[in-house]
Structure 1
């Protein structure tokens, strides 16, 4: 009898070794609650400005730190006021103790690695397989970012990414936001290198909400497992970006963090208007995505699926995701899990 794990299990294990967003940077005035693959977390910013991700459960009597308060470089439990260090998670103060030398020496909460990027706070539950997403096409751009209100979706990460990057559904799902678009999809030019997949397509603005900006080139990019973006390059306006990074609350349920960015020299609509337009698209997708079965890609081949040339981008994304799973099985840790980096 084979003892090989189902690919679903390998996918879930692999995602524990991946960076995912757990909060928007703008929300850290107070501690925030987050859940990543079933692990309850607290996300907060210390007095010195450092973003921190730690376990949400207090090891004293189990209260939730997201209901607590930040004191300098510590977070305090809302139940009994025990304070824990943002640096290493150790208990640093117990109000009920007259002698602080008697703090239980094992009282500690786990502290996770942190990176701030794209106006969000990112973490990983276990030692990451790869470095944080750093798309080459944005490195030379001066960008202003605006984080959107996250959206909840009863789908897995891969289903959410496929929905973002599928091009054949536009005429049927986005008729309001995009206006009427062609049903026939032209031959797609898709390129994959490892975990990254790229595609270029011209945008015919049509007569939807995007019509005022005119036609442009769209540069599609996704990176397995969980980043999908479009960089719009308008000849007369400059570049703007929409990007989504679904974060797995559970294997088959995501909180979709996303946002928009404009080149500082962009001459089109401001960030708020760009976000409004893109949110129309997202909200049109949500009820359709919520009905997809199974709720995550069927890595084990239980369901029958049929593909056509219009699926070329998403099929390459699936290949990239499988490579990610293989790397998670075989790649040595890139750096210790307790390293905290802020970018």
Structure 2
């Protein structure tokens, strides 16, 4: 007897699954360059990493677990071109992850052939070390407005936050919360938001908005034009253009520890020759803004954008920028979906 099998029901990924897949293929910061005098521990979407700079200057991002007996390499010793496990001293090459020395072996030719740790791509940008877990679905961030500027960067202190990347970026780029959350750092702000002029080109969203100095921490700097930019999944920036001072920048790039938790990496930059406050003072003021945001953002429910409409939300014109960020993220998810469809049909 012949049995006819019904065609398999195609597996349809939820938007949350697509969002996670897109983030695994996107660049995120995992350490500050200023901290690489010793190995750094990081977790990116559940993957435990070690970040370090060798004696020869190579910066590496690799799996944190030693494959011998599970030692934590972030507690190990950095050598000229490798990192050593703190447990038994096994050394792994920064360039390839291959085990290059086992101290307990008299004959180093007998190192187990498959003993190695996974190495990940590395980009050094904006004062941070960036990596990507899987084959990138998008390019590393490159803000067009900054290309002609000679910038000096200073990385801020990393901050833990109990919400996901999407919620964090939306908070960075939301303009309607200023009069309620940033009364100290920004001074009085109008509650009514003017019509927003927002443009989106693929993954990149831009908006221009004047800064009226008001009575906040920036009052003495005078008025400026603010150029808001963000890009899915995890870059949000403001470039301040002061007519008499020059350019200064604040940028945030949250790293997803998991889907609903981030470490906020961020930094400030001044154009060389900027006539306003120095980097340390800019960092102080911007940190005030971030720390005003944290207790409010950490109370948001759900803890990540409800991509699958599991929670009802309503929007108004003041949300135009963040809605375009969601469209940007959706485009990134669609890239993953289309690529998976092509792979399945090949």
TM-score of the pair, normalised by structure 2:
0.95
Structure 1 residue 329 displacement after superposition: 3.0
User: How far did 1:125 drift?
Assistant: 0.4
1:133 and 1:219 map into 2 onto residues whose CA distance is 16
Given the alignment, which residue of 94, 98, 122 partners 1:90? 98
The equivalent residue for 1:323 is 331
Counterpart Cα distance in 1 of 2:284 and 2:335? 37
- The aligned residue for residue 146 of structure 1 is 154
Partner SS for 1:78: coil
Q: Distance in 2 between matches of 1:7 and 1:215?
A: 41
Contact 1:129 1:331 in 2 (8 A): no
For 1:148-204, what per-residue CA distance to the aligned partner results, in whole angstroms no more than 9, with x for missing partners? 001100111010000000000000000011001100000000000000000000001
Alpha-carbon separation, structure 1, partners of 2:231 and 2:19: 15
Superposed CA RMSD in Å reads 1.0
The answer for the alignment partner of 2:46 in structure 1 is: 38
Equivalent runs, 1:110-121 vs 2, <5 Å: 110-121=118-129
C-alpha displacement of 1:46:
1.1
Q: How does 1:186-197 map to 2 (within 5 A)?
A: 186-197=194-205
- Deviations 1:253-297 (Å, cap 9, x if unpaired)? 000000000000110000000010001100000000000000000
Partner of 2:343: none
Structure 1 match to 2:302 = 294
Aligned to 1:340: none
Instruction: Provide the secondary structure at the position in 1 that maps to 2:160.
Output: strand
- 1:301 CA displacement: 0.5
Is 2:186 the partner of 1:198? no
Deviation at 1:331? Answer: 4.6
Residue 167 of structure 2: aligned partner? 159
Partner of 1:338: none
Q: Give the C-alpha shift of residue 13 in structure 1.
A: 1.1
Gaps of 5+ in 1: 333-343
CA shift at 1:249, angstroms? 0.4
Pairing 1:6–2:6 present = no
The answer to whether structure 1 residue 80 and structure 2 residue 84 are counterparts is no
Q: CA deviation at 1:330?
A: 3.1
Describe the superposition over 1:203-247 as per-residue Cα deviations: whole angstroms up to 9, x where unpaired: 011101110101100000001110000000000000000000000
CA deviation string 1:38-72 (max 9, x = no partner) = 00000000111111000000000001000001111
Deviations 1:105-130 (CA, angstroms, capped at 9, x unpaired):
11000000000000100000001112
**Cα distance in structure 1, aligned partners of 2:195 and 2:138:** 32
Distance apart, 1:2 and its partner CA? 6.6
Structure 2: runs of 5 or more not aligned = 1-8, 341-346
Report the counterpart of residue 335 of structure 1 in structure 2. Answer: none
Counterpart residue number, 2:232: 224
Give me the whole-angstrom Cα distance separating, in 2, the residues matched to 1:2 and 1:177: 52
Q: Does 1:215 align with 2:248?
A: no
Quote how far apart the aligned CAs of 1:77 are.
0.2
Q: Quick one: distance in 2 between partners of 1:328 and 1:81? A: 40
Give yes or no for the alignment of 1:17 onto 2:61: no
1: CA distance, partners of 2:261 / 2:213: 33
Task: Write the mapping of 1:50-89 to structure 2, written as runs, cut at 5 A.
Answer: 50-89=58-97
Q: Secondary structure, in 3 states, of the residue corresponding to 1:320?
A: helix
- In the other structure, the counterpart of 2:57 is 49
1:169 aligned residue: 177
| 2:252 is aligned with 1:241 | no
- Could you list the structure 1 runs, at least 4 aligned residues long, displaced by more than 2 angstroms after superposition: 328-332
Q: Which residue of 2 is the match for residue 122 of structure 1?
A: 130
Structure 2 distance, partners of 1:96, 1:115, is 35
| CA contact 1:143–1:261 (8 Å) conserved in 2 | yes
Aligned-partner Cα distance in 2 for 1:29–1:82:
20
Residue 3 (structure 1) shift: 2.8
SS at match of 2:249: strand
Specify the alignment match of 2:286 in structure 1. 278
